[in-house]
Amino acid sequence: MIYRTAEPSDIPQIIDMRIAYMKETHPDLSQQAFDEISAKSRGYFQEHLNRDCVVYFAECENGEIAACVFFLLINKPASPLFITGKTGTLMNVFTKKEYRKQGIAKKLVSRCIEDGKKWELSYIELRSTNDGFPLYKSLDFIEDKSIYMSMKLKLVE
């Protein structure tokens, strides 16, 4: 297995892995929704890849992508919660079914953690599925308990 960061030429594979992840986590979405997400994703990755979004791949010797992790890098004014002003968000930690339970995702997330330390991030956050929870606990992620309540305002349906 080759562990590497994605390049602009990998954008079609990045989108394919993102859609594969979403088809597992959101099976109720229509094909039209997946097509729209795919189309919008191309522009996003063209603009953000290897700037404030790093995608890590586990690639088989035959070139097939077995797993991926998206790492969003966020810069904001420093505060007591993020003293360096820099944080990271992991998204789409995804391994294809035939490659699961082999430690691949753990290696990818561990690489994100090491890079996060080099980049002096105050913390790395993520939202975990039930399946992923044991992996993150094994890497010392903790449940986020805060005096703040998470809220959002949906602007688009």
**E strand segments, 8-102:** 53-59, 65-75, 86-95
38: which strand partners?
none
Q: State which fold the 2-136 domain adopts.
A: Aminopeptidase (3.40.630)
Ranges of each domain in the chain? 2-136
Question: d(Cα 143, Cα 154) in Å, to the nearest integer?
Answer: 25
Q: What is the pTM of this model?
A: 0.91
Task: Map residue 143 onto helix, strand or coil.
Answer: coil
pLDDT by residue, tens only, the chain of 157 residues: 999 999 999 999 999 999 999 999 999 999 999 999 999 999 999 999 999 999 999 999 999 999 999 999 999 999 998 999 999 999 999 999 999 999 999 999 999 999 999 999 999 999 998 889 999 999 999 988 877 787 888 888 7
